Amino acid sequence: MYTCLICMDVFYEPVTLLCGHTYCFTCLYKLVQTSHKNQCPACFEHWKDWPRTNYVLGEIIRKEFPKRYKRGETEKQREAQQQRNELEQTIQKNKEHRVPILFQEMKLAAFLILIFLVVWNKYKNPSQY
């Protein structure tokens, strides 16, 4: 019930996907980094945005399993902070690159509309050409 399906230990900084499955932040992050897929390992549902931390579940685990939680805290805390920093940098890079890509897509769409209008006018009024 309080066990991550990836590391098979008590959740540390649990994150819950939209499908309802929960994992340790570090475990899910490592899985995404190695598989290059935003996909739940249990049900294979894809997700777009990074899942949010499940603070309620995290507090329950801290109170119910203080020794096991403390054992993994120092190791996973270090990893989690490093991975959060990497994730924030990746998100920032994606935001910076999104505008030029969107602009290119808009130019392509405008070009296709222009071609469509020229072809439409040609077939609508064939005597003009």
Domain boundaries along the sequence of the chain? 14-128
**CATH assignment, 14-128:** 3.30.40
0.85 exceeded by pTM: no
Query: How far is Cα 13 from Cα 59, in angstroms, rounded to an integer?
Result: 9
Residue 129 burial class via C-beta count within 10 angstroms: exposed 0-12, middle 13-18, buried 19 and up: exposed
The gap from C-alpha 80 to its chain's centroid, in whole angstroms, comes to 16
Residue 98: the pLDDT is 55
Q: Which residues have CB under 8 Å from 129's CB, separation 6+?
A: 122
Q: Predicted confidence band at 104 (pLDDT cuts at 50, 70, 90)?
A: low
Chain segment 23-50, per-residue pLDDT in tens: 998 899 889 988 888 999 999 999 888 8
